[in-house]
Amino acid sequence: MLKGKTAVITGASTGIGKAIALNMAQNGANIAVIFIGNKNLASEVKLQAENSGVKVEIYECDVSDHNASKETCEKIVEDFGAVDILINNAGIVRDGLLLRMSESDFDDVIDVNLKGVFNMTKHLLRFIMKSAGGRIINISSVSGIMGNPGQANYSAAKAGVIGLTKTTAKEFAGKNVTCNAIAPGFIETDMTAGLPQAVKDQANTNIPLKRMGTADEIANVAVFLASDMSSYITGEVIKVDGGLCM
């Protein structure tokens, strides 16, 4: 479905980002893996993705850093020659009740989860516009749609991602670039693995499908949105949450 395309994926060394990278590689896309912190994990993703016979490179970058993002994007274009798909997936959490939340915990989450999307999109758009059908896919969250106690920073950032998605879609539709968002619910990742079992049980009770989703289920939607099958879809927010937010 993505043969010959080049996809840039932030936060691609673990969780949802890793699943998207591997799924897109299996569908023929060359992959630029952006990570921060653990190079070994990123190298493992590279090795697994290369088994699909595609080109894969890894880049360490703090997407909240405007200049570092610009330099990384320029290096990716130099290495691959073109960029067709951008997946803005990088994100962090600093949960806490609003009255107890520090300014730094609020700022850090906004910087990575929202400003990081702006940085990467801004720096790659002029290259994506040269693609026959450019695709930008932003990973938001149902927390950005309905809010979530203890996540004022995260919910605000993910709601901002939705607004940024719709504006990007409107501004660049005339250039044949689509921009959509995926809003995952409770997904089995390292981030949710640390939750107390009681919290997981309560979450499953509230989810109509009675289970958490998997990273692969998010990746399947990302591949669809990146493919020609979604050519007439833009500005949408697709919830992948087992019916939690409806």
In the numeric block, which tokens belong to residue 188? 């089995």
87: left (phi over 0), alpha (psi -120 to 50) or beta: beta
Q: Kindly list the catalytic residues.
A: 154
| H or E stretch covering 169 | helix 152-172
CB 76 within 8 A of CB 30: no
Q: What pLDDT, on the 0 to 100 scale, is given for residue 196? A: 76
Is residue 194 pLDDT above 80, yes or no? no
Query: Angle at which helices 215-226 and 15-26 pack, to 10 degrees?
Result: 50
Q: Of 106, 84, 86, give the one whose Cα is nearest residue 95.
A: 106
Q: What pLDDT, on the 0 to 100 scale, is given for residue 203? A: 84
DSSP 7: E
Average pLDDT of 214-236?
Answer: 97
Q: What pLDDT, on the 0 to 100 scale, is given for residue 17? A: 97
Cα gap 114→38, rounded to integer Å: 22
Q: What pLDDT, on the 0 to 100 scale, is given for residue 193? A: 74
Q: How far apart are the first and last CA of the chain?
A: 30
Average pLDDT of 208-226?
Answer: 96
Q: Of 68, 70, 86, 101, give the one whose Cα is nearest residue 32.
A: 86
In the chain, where the domains are located: 6-240
Cα gap 51→46, rounded to integer Å: 9
Chain centroid to CA 120: 11
Residue 209 vs residues 204, 205, 212, 240: alpha-carbon distances, Å:
8, 9, 8, 11
How many residues does the structure list for the chain? 246
Half-sphere exposure of 79 (CA within 13 A, CB side): 18
pLDDT in tens, 4-43: 999 999 999 999 999 999 999 999 999 999 999 999 999 9
Cα gap 6→31, rounded to integer Å: 6
pLDDT in tens, 81-122: 999 999 999 999 999 999 999 999 999 999 999 999 999 999
Q: What pLDDT, on the 0 to 100 scale, is given for residue 50? A: 97
Beta-bridge partner residues of 26: none
Average pLDDT of 142-161?
Answer: 96
Half-sphere exposure of 91 (CA within 13 A, CB side): 25
**Is domain 6-240 classified as CATH 1.10.10.10?**
no
H-assigned helices in 173-242: 190-193, 197-206, 215-226
DSSP 212: -
Residue 72 vs residues 47, 76, 84, 176: alpha-carbon distances, Å:
21, 6, 16, 24
